Amino acid sequence: MSKADKLFDGITNVREDLLEQAETHVFKTGRRRYRFTVVAVAGLLIAAILAGTVPGQQVSFFDTPVHAATRAEYPEMTPYPGENADWKDIEKWMDGLNAQYRDVDAAALQPYLQASIPQFLQDNGTDNALYSPLNVYMALAMLAEVTDGDSRQQILHLLGAADIDALRQQANDLWNANYRDDGIMQRVLANSLWLSESYTFRQETLDRLAEQYFASSFCGQMGAEEFNTALRDWLNEQTGGLLGDQIDNLELTPDTVLALASTVYFKAKWNGGFNEANTADGLFHSTNGDVTCRMMKRSDITSYYWADNFTAVRMDFEDGGMWFILPDEGYTSGDLLEDCAFLELIQTANNGWENQTRLRVNMTVPKFDVSSQIKLRDGLQALGVTDVFDAGKADFSPVTDGEGLFVSEATHGVRVKIDEEGCEAAAYTMLALAGAAPPPDEEVDFTADRPFLFCVTGANNLPLFVGVVNQP
């Protein structure tokens, strides 16, 4: 048996008598199989690693190097029965989707989106800039659960929640609305906590994170190679190995007390993609000069949108889609981020955006593989989340009695690729405690041969990934 297999068995195969002895709630979670033969959007968040200097009482839940304290159970979804299935099977599948789906108060999220997207995408110079609002939201929501006092209140204010109960409901609704794993689409969120065995943790908080956020908890020796390997294995499994190059460099140091990890994985085909035969070399007028890249082309009757300083086209998935937002001549992506009017378009397009029409759109967009890394600390502090970074002010009492805890590092990395079939992307965050004029009547060209914005949306048209492509 390989080292990785032993580690996985150590995490998943826990004797029932030891579980009862530890008085923990254990939930069974099957291993997911990910195949990336089609299209994927994956998001990874490693969040809220609490760094402290005051050790607590030595504890050990189980007798393995890495032991499970709580284990979350994911919803069982009715699998897609296939195109040739009879109506009863189709109806059963649709009933399953409706049972899983939750309405989300998108309006309550607007202040967070309007504030955080410009904060983390502007001032990127000539580089590409990428950001995953949903991932950061879920990580901060879990961080709020393990904080109290002003530390918690600052997070609640940023996320637009009146109190912790409202945040729990909103986060749970977001999770359920976006979770989908039925064979025709995968949009899967996963969360976990990684606990130092040198500290004691409040079981009620771990149980709440399992129930409300579907977060499993694992305990071990911080800084030990076995514990770091188990963390990397979990992250790689949840993201199908998409972020291997970045995950392989991750480790928890001996002074780490707690790490929160959150992932989002999305896989779908375009509803009508690009014909590879039409892809050809073309010029992209990047911020650093003209570059030659592979330009994809399609011509179809679709909706075309415009505003005072941009035009936009949406490519649909089976659920959700990807927006391409092109600044008008004389405007930049930074100009669009200043007022974020494109967010209003994304949220209201289905209900009638004033400046839209259906016509033949001759669409040209580059195949791209872009990535960026954002240091979140300054941005979060600018957005009002300050106390968690200050050991003298941070309050993590809901999860542990340890003192002197603080978030010491905050990094968010994202990679997004698109091709003729669809989109593949990954993101991680480490918080260490880690218009144009009206269009022609019949036909219009949409040629993204200069810097543009994109937005990949999920349920309720909420952004999963937002980015600025300056250099494809």
pLDDT of residue 430: 63
CATH number, position 459: 2.30.39.10
46 and 27 co-located in one domain: yes
Verify that 325 and 401 share a domain, yes or no: no
The domain tally of the chain equals 2
* Tokens representing residue 394 in the block: 């941070």
Is residue 146 located within the same domain as residue 285?
no
Residues 193 and 230 in one domain: yes
Which pLDDT band, with edges at 50, 70 and 90, does 242 fall under? Answer: confident
Q: What's the whole-model pTM score? A: 0.81
On whether residue 107 sits in a domain, the answer given is: no
| 468 in Cβ contact with 128 (< 8 Å) | yes
- In this prediction, residues 103-129 reach a mean pLDDT of 89
401 in the same domain as 259 = yes
Looking at the domain assignment, is residue 100 inside a domain?
no
Asked if the structure places residue 115 within a domain, the reply is no
Let me know whether 249 and 339 are in one domain: no
Please report whether residue 309 resides in a domain. Answer: yes
- Spatial CB neighbours of 52, under 8 Å, sequence gap ≥ 6: 255, 257, 391, 402, 403, 404, 405, 406, 433
Secondary element (H or E) of residue 452: strand 452-457
Q: What does the alpha-carbon distance between residue 102 and residue 107 come to, in Å, rounded to a whole number?
A: 15
Mean pLDDT (the chain) is 80
Q: Is residue 96 a part of any domain in this protein?
A: no
Long-range interactions of 12-18: CB distance < 8 A, separation 24+: 12/68, 14/62, 14/64, 14/67, 14/68, 18/61, 18/62, 18/63
Provide the pLDDT confidence category of residue 155 given band limits of 50, 70 and 90: very high
User: Is the domain of 167 the same as that of 227?
Assistant: yes
Residue 405 covered by a domain: yes
118 in any annotated domain: no
Same domain, yes or no: 314 and 380: no
Enclosing domain of residue 382: 23-75+127-269+370-432
150 within a domain of the structure (yes/no): yes
**Domain co-membership, 462 together with 355:** yes
Q: What is the pLDDT of residues 265-292, one digit of tens each?
A: 777 788 888 999 999 999 999 988 999 9
Euclidean distance between CA atoms 407 and 251, whole angstroms: 16
Same domain, 219 and 284: no
Which of 77-81, 266-270, 430-434 holds the top average pLDDT? 77-81
In this structure, the answer to whether residues 419 and 448 fall within a common structural domain is no
Q: Is the pLDDT of residue 199 over 50?
A: yes
Same domain, yes or no: 426 and 446: no
